[in-house]
Amino acid sequence: MTGAHDETARLTRRPGITEALEALGTGAYLVDEQGRILAANSGVERLLGRRAEDLVGEDAHELLHRGAQGQPLHVSQCAMRQAFHAGQPAQGDDDYFSRADGSVLPVSWLIVPYSSGDRSPTTLVIFHPRERTGSTEPRPEGAAEPLSELERLALLAETTSRLTSTLNVDEILRRLVDLVLPRLADWAVVDLITEHDEVWRTAVVQSEEGRLVAHEELQGPMPPVPEHSPMPLSRALRGVASALVDPDVYHSPPDSGIAVEQRRLFDATGIRSAVVVPLRGTREVLGAFTLGRADKPGNFTTADLPLIEDIARRASLALDNARLYQRQRAVAETMQNHLLPQMPRVPGLQLAVRYLPAPDASQVGGDWYDAFSLSDGATALAIGDVVGHDLEATAGMAQLRNMLRAYAWSQQTPPSRIVERLDEAIMPITDVSMATLVCARVSRTSDGTWQLTWSNAGHPPPLLVTRDGLTEYLTDGHSLLLGTGVSVRRPDATVQLPPGCTLLLYTDGLIEAPGRTIDDGLDRLRHHAAALAHRPLPSFTDQLLRRVQPPGLDDVALLTLRTPKESRPGSAPR
């Protein structure tokens, strides 16, 4: 059961999972691939009288599935369990769940595979008390045939699963439109309020003969939201209320620029019946969502509003999380880019650096590079990775880099001694727990050649590529990473750099990827670096990243250095 509780903790930390279950408005729970309950909402507590925390880790079939008389069901007799093992969406109308008091609840249920944003397969189970049949309540004239309760729940479950499994705003909008067209309407319009309080008509999409067609000519910036306008879109963009709309509403004299744009929309699309609902985030109004019917039979009625508002709530949750992610990513990238230094000009040497942020904002942070002139005329090079992938790792990276600069400039000592001093200081005076590092110095010898001396603290080895495409990983000078608390003597290693060679210092994001070993990544890097050895250094660096960088989870820092093609005699270093 411990594993189930661990999985539950991981799921509930993921943005939107808890809110998504609660937003369904009826009993809902998640199960793992063995059928154990991972999380449940308050609807389960209300309908079954069981506390959600008591359900976690229990086998859902053994605990809940019963026959009409409350008798336990063998797996072969349980339609839900068989559908679960098939791994496909399914629904049923003639089953029973066990309540805490021993009674049974007749239920209709729906199960769908649920994307929780990682590799662990989960299934969403939604249930509600079985519908009573025989309702003769009349529908308004011209209204479309409504969705059944299970169809409504299926749409909401699919909306929750698909929208909360991405943190890309454009992808959320694409999925939202795909969910509602042509099921509910033949036009979908999304107006979003930007972080500068401007309104942007982000999507105008039509369902036409089985295809979704984007009408970019109707998209773009919108006039400001009027403060007191009673018009439906203006009210929705202020987060006031949803509304049923017909074209006549916008044929009266307009009270604002937004009303003019809405008239243009209705005239261009031929929409005869529409619903406009707000997109409300947890802290602010995000925009408005409009569904319109032009060719699709039936008009919207007030009975359609709860479903469309439910869909809008789920879309708002996904958009809110995506915007928070984008803000976090922007802060991390801005901080990282400001902290990473410009390269010095070193006569005779070429230097190039690149930094690629991770695809996930929470992974941005610990990778860094540096190069600077030393007091004795040599050039210091460094590449490192602070353990952690967040803003704290970024701050730790800045501390470590600044300390390295101070030690290297003030003490004309080999790289190994600089690394030892850093290791002594990292625990008492920085926020860094552990880090890897290559610290090196490049100097010119008396015969005009270039010499590299380095010490490696647990970092991937530098790669040396000759201008003829021969490659060698510089594996000497290796020792423990920083921050282990173990005092060790750090070694140095030295190599003469051939004329026209290229030296690569890089972080592990360049060679690591899911499903690939480190050796695979190193071989791939070696192969492409050799093939690109003849390219000018900026082109070499860009092409190498394009070819080698795996679709991994980490950021990448890369520093490349090239020696001149011909050695020229010069004075030895001081």
What's the pLDDT score for residue 550? 67
244 assigned to some structural domain: yes
Residue spans of alpha helices (H) in 146-302: 149-163, 169-180, 232-237, 257-269
The tokens for 554 are: 């980490």
Question: Which pLDDT belongs to residue 142?
Answer: 54
Highest mean predicted confidence (pLDDT) among 166-170, 229-233, 341-345, 492-496: 492-496
First to last CA, the chain: 67
Residues 293 and 393 in one domain: no
**Residue carrying structure tokens 């509910």:** 184
* Residues ≥6 apart with Cβ < 8 Å to 160: 20, 23, 24, 124, 314
**Helix or strand holding residue 19 (H, E):** helix 17-23
CA 537 to chain centre: 32
Specify whether 292 is located in the same domain as 366.
no
Specify whether 387 is located in the same domain as 535.
Answer: yes
The total of other beta-carbon atoms located within 10 Å of residue 554's CB is 24
Mean local confidence (pLDDT), 553-568? 85
Contact between 365 and 392 under an 8 Å Cβ cutoff? The reply is yes
| pLDDT at residue 220, rounded to an integer | 94
**CA 96 – CA 80 distance, rounded (Å):** 10
* CB 104, CB 118: distance < 8 Å: no
Establish if 150 belongs to a structural domain: no
Q: Tell me, yes or no, whether 292 and 409 share the same domain.
A: no
Helix (H) or strand (E) holding 127: strand 122-129
| Residue 39: strand, helix, or coil | strand
For residue 393, is it within any domain? yes
**Domain-embedded: residue 146:** no
At 375 the pLDDT is 87
Does 392 share its domain with 436? yes
Residue 15 has pLDDT above 70, yes or no: no
Residue 272: pLDDT over 90: yes
Strand partners, 557: 355
- Structure confidence at residue 149 as a pLDDT band (50, 70, 90): confident
Domain final position from 289, 317, 339: 339
pLDDT in tens, 190-209: 999 998 889 999 999 999 98
Residue 309 has pLDDT above 80, yes or no: yes
Residue 153 within any structural domain of the chain: no
455 class by beta-carbon count within 10 Å (0-12 exposed, 13-18 middle, 19+ buried): buried
Tell me the pLDDT band of 338, cut-offs 50, 70 and 90: low
Same domain, 446 and 546: yes
Same domain, 459 and 543: yes
483: CATH: 3.60.40.10
Checking DSSP bridges between strand 450-457 and strand 478-479, what pairing results, if any?
A: parallel
Reported as a pLDDT band with limits 50, 70 and 90, residue 13 is very low
Structure confidence at residue 393 as a pLDDT band (50, 70, 90): low
Q: Are residues 286 and 399 in the same domain?
A: no
Q: What percent of the chain has pLDDT over 90?
A: 49
AA identity, residue 265: L
In this predicted structure, what is the pLDDT of residue 568? Answer: 59
Q: Which residue has the tokens 């009027």?
A: 226
Task: State the DSSP code for 68.
Answer: T
> Percent of the chain beyond pLDDT 70?
86
Residues 323 and 442 in one domain: no
* Residues spanned by the domain of 54: 1-134
pLDDT, tens digit, 9 for 90 and up, residues 103-114: 899 998 888 887
Q: Which of 16-25, 137-146, 258-267, 437-446 has the lowest mean pLDDT?
A: 137-146
Comparing CA positions, the residue from 356, 365, 363, 383 lying closest to residue 546 is 356
Confidence of residue 571 (pLDDT cuts 50, 70, 90): very low
pLDDT of residue 117: 53
pLDDT over 50 (residue 133): no
Q: Which of 150-154, 438-442, 522-526, 556-560 has the lowest mean pLDDT?
A: 150-154
| Lowest pLDDT segment from 161-165, 258-262, 552-556 | 552-556
Q: What is the pLDDT of residue 8?
A: 47
When comparing pLDDT for 392 and 137, which is higher? 392
Residue 192 forms part of a structural domain:
yes
Say if 139 falls within a structural domain: no
* Residue with tokens 């000078």, as numbered in its chain: 477
Asked whether the beta carbons of 354 and 545 are under 8 A apart, the reply is yes
345, 353, 343, 348: which is closest to 538 by C-alpha? 353
Quick check: bond before 182 cis, omega within 30? Answer: yes
- Position 136 scores a pLDDT of 43
User: Within this chain, do residues 26 and 124 fall inside the same structural domain, yes or no?
Assistant: yes
The pLDDT of residue 551: 58
Average pLDDT, the chain: 85
Q: What is the pLDDT of residue 181?
A: 94
Q: For 210-224, write each residue's pLDDT tens digit.
A: 899 999 999 999 999
The C-alpha R_g of the chain, in whole angstroms, comes to 31
What average pLDDT does range 479-495 have in this prediction? 93
Number of residues that make up the chain: 574
63-84 pLDDT, tens digit each? 999 988 888 888 778 888 877 8
Q: State whether 291 and 367 are in the same domain.
A: no
The CATH number of residue 123's host domain is 3.30.450.20
Whether the pLDDT of residue 1 is over 50: the answer is: no
Q: Are residues 321 and 188 in the same domain?
A: yes
State both tokens at 124. Answer: 């969403």
Query: How would residue 430 be classed by pLDDT, with cut points 50, 70 and 90?
Result: confident
Most confident of 135-144, 451-460, 480-489: 451-460
The pLDDT of residue 12: 46
Q: Kindly state the average pLDDT of the residues 50-74.
A: 89
Question: Helices (DSSP H) in 299-364: which residue ranges?
Answer: 305-339
DSSP helix, strand, coil percent of the chain (3-state; round to 5): 35, 25, 35
| Token reading at 93 | 């109308």
pLDDT value of position 384: 92
Query: Alpha-carbon distance 125 to 92, whole Å?
Result: 11
Please tell me the total count of domains within the chain.
3
Which range (154-168, 331-345, 402-416, 440-454) has the least confidence?
331-345
Mean pLDDT to the nearest integer, 278-288: 92
CATH, residue 218: 3.30.450.40
Query: Would you state the structure tokens that stand for residue 200, as one six-digit string?
Result: 């942007």
- Contact by Cβ (8 Å): 286, 279: yes
Residues 6+ away with beta carbon under 8 Å from 83: 90, 92, 111
Whether 502 is in a domain gets the answer yes
Is the pLDDT score of 388 beyond 90? no
